[in-house]
Amino acid sequence: MKKIEIIPAIDLIEGKCVRLSQGDYSQKTVYNEHPLEVAKMFEGAGIRRLHLVDLDGAKAKRIVNYKVLETIASKTGLVIDFGGGLQSDDDLRIAFECGAAMVTGGSIAVKDRETFLYWLERYGPEKIILGADAKERKIAVSGWQEVSELPILEFIESYTSRGIRKVISTDIARDGMLTGPSTELYQEILEQFPSLELIASGGIASMKDILELEEMAVPGVITGKAIYEGKIKLEEIEIYNSSRL
């Protein structure tokens, strides 16, 4: 059985490492004022990839925390996927110039399909990730401030048919709540799109949750709050990664 890739998240507001609960900006916890320190801790535990989210950008609808991206990319060897507020060709250029290996587009894929498909064609499916974040199976956008009427499976299908291979899917109701992942949703996605590089996100509370997703053959998982709250220790991730080499 192929091991699942564990991808820690750093969410940024005002350049600080924070977590929200269910995407609510009023339910914000600041975990560290120096995201680079956090990224280096992850790298020190043998982690290779980082999910970096510009929450200020998601609200402002343009890239904001690019300096933090640049600092982490230049001072660690982490492979960074970056998202939040990427709405224009210029935003994308800045993200890649500042060291992102991949970018995630969610709102743009809903609101401006033509631009997102252009990015996919220009940069290729290895660099462009579809953000499929949902509340009650309906796609949510703009830092989860708006919920559309678009069913998640329909949304994913509309892009896999055009070449998307990587999808990050967050169940918003579970995000930051430590209530366990949305396994039924991920099962459905994988059944419908078996070759998809699906990354599950939201609700992870323990290594047991991660192993459950591995059993389901989910390729990757993002976890944030569980690490920051000590529910998953970096030593556990390090042991897991080294035991599966």
**Could you give the CA distance from residue 225 to residue 152 in angstroms, rounded to a whole number?**
24
Residues marked as catalytic: 11, 133
DSSP-derived letter for residue 219 is -
Whole-number pLDDT of residue 178: 75
- Report pLDDT digits (tens) over 9-26: 999 999 999 988 777 787
Whole-number pLDDT of residue 112: 94
Give yes or no for residue 148 having a pLDDT over 80: no
Residue type, position 199, single letter: I
What are the two backbone dihedrals, phi and then psi, of residue 98, each rounded to the nearest 5 degrees?
-85, 0
Q: What is the mean pLDDT of residues 76-82?
A: 98
Q: Which CATH architecture has domain 5-243?
A: Alpha-Beta Barrel (3.20)
Give yes or no for residue 107 having a pLDDT over 80: yes
**Could you give the CA distance from residue 131 to residue 145 in angstroms, rounded to a whole number?**
15
Say which residue the tokens 């462009």 belong to.
128
Q: Which residue has the higher pLDDT, 219 or 137?
A: 219
* Sheet with strand 138-141: strands edge to edge: 134-135, 138-141, 146-151
> What is the pTM for the complete model shown?
0.92
Q: 142: pLDDT confidence band, cut at 50, 70 and 90?
A: low
DSSP-derived letter for residue 126 is T
**Could you give the CA distance from residue 84 to residue 162 in angstroms, rounded to a whole number?**
22
- Segments making up each domain of the chain, as ranges: 5-243
Whole-number pLDDT of residue 154: 96
Say which residue the tokens 């924070």 belong to.
18
- Report pLDDT digits (tens) over 191-241: 999 999 999 998 999 999 999 999 999 999 999 999 999 999 999 999 999
Whole-number pLDDT of residue 147: 64
Q: What is the mean pLDDT of residues 32-58?
A: 95
Give yes or no for residue 149 having a pLDDT over 60: yes
- Tell me which H or E stretch contains 130: strand 128-131
Whole-number pLDDT of residue 204: 94
